[in-house]
Amino acid sequence: MLSDDIQKFEGTDETRKIPEEQESFQFDVFISHASEDKDAVARPLAYALKKFELKVWYDEFELKIGDNLTQAILRDGLSKSRFGIVILSIDFFKKEWTRREFSEFEKRSGFIEKRIILPIWHNVTKQQVIEFSPSLADKLARNTTTHTVEEIAQEIAELIQGKKPKDWYQRVLECVVTYLKKLYQNFYLLTRWQP
């Protein structure tokens, strides 16, 4: 049984793709983080995931002045996201909001028995994660001490999209080439136009 799971994970892009759920989700991922980890991990990760064309619920993208935080985060963000990225840190473990977000994803994960939580360890030890949540310590995680934010974002995009996303630079180059072609076509049309 375990060998089947390993073969599926190592198999073709199609076997690695996360199956679509019956419900439609507005966001691919929800990023749960402590505000102290925003500059080092959360913000760069959110932007890196958007470069891979994922729909990201991240507080700076979604929250507006006057929003009801409980409604915006739990109902409009977390519940409408296929996956929850949890950036685990000492500050994450201390905060009520992050604990609440994690708890909601853990409930949903247990209820439908699917992989929903994608953990990222940031300056924490295994023992600290075990003390926070023994079941979470048993999940394969990525660690910011061994992986760059860009590498983590690419792995998450591959998991969700079921294929290796195009290299970001290649996509930028394609956009530039398309723009230059249109510019050339417009220039050609203008030079042919005779009043």
Give the residue numbers marked as catalytic: 101
Instruction: Classify each residue of 38-63 as buried b or exposed e, where b means 16 or more C-beta atoms within 10 Å of its C-beta.
Output: bebbbbbbbbbbeebebbbbbbeeee
Other Cβ atoms closer than 10 A to 14: 8
> Residue 62 in contact with residue 77, Cβ under 8 Å?
yes
> Residue 86 in contact with residue 92, Cβ under 8 Å?
yes
